[in-house]
Homo-oligomer: A and B are copies of this chain.
């Protein structure tokens, strides 16, 4: 008999809702994918974060559900589902969600959620789901 052909693989996409259903705690980003040295993280947030900045990198927010407000020292931006915003490096910002927001963060591997501020909101880094 001839050898069997190589198995034809069905690769799996990454489904945001499925990944979000695996946890319910807030302010704890989970890594779902990597692209080169960047990570895609999903996170649930509600209420006020702390003022912080990232000296060395921009940070991207894509809202999946809810309305995110990002406060800046001189203004704010509201980001709804189907929208994104990139906070430039070095700019102080404070995310806020009146009701729970589910969103995707994209940033270099190793970025700490609270920047250089530390404190109780500082999440475990590089936590995969």
Q: How many residues of A contact B (CB 8 A)?
A: 41
Tell me how far the C-beta of A109 lies from the nearest C-beta in chain B, rounded to whole angstroms.
Answer: 12
B13 touches A77 (CB 8 A): yes
Tell me how far the C-beta of A120 lies from the nearest C-beta in chain B, rounded to whole angstroms.
Answer: 27
Query: Which of A21-29, A43-51, A79-87, A121-129 is the contact stretch?
Result: A79-87
The contact of A82 among B10, B15, B107, by CB within 8 Å, is B15
Please indicate the chain B residues that have their CB under 8 angstroms from the CB of A33 in the complex.
60, 84, 86
Is A35 part of the contact surface with B, judged by Cβ < 8 Å?
yes
The contact of A83 among B13, B86, B89, by CB within 8 Å, is B13
The contact of A16 among B12, B16, B75, B82, by CB within 8 Å, is B82
Chain A residues near B (Cβ < 8 Å): 6, 8-17, 32-36, 38, 40, 57-60, 62, 64, 72, 74-80, 82-86, 89, 106-108
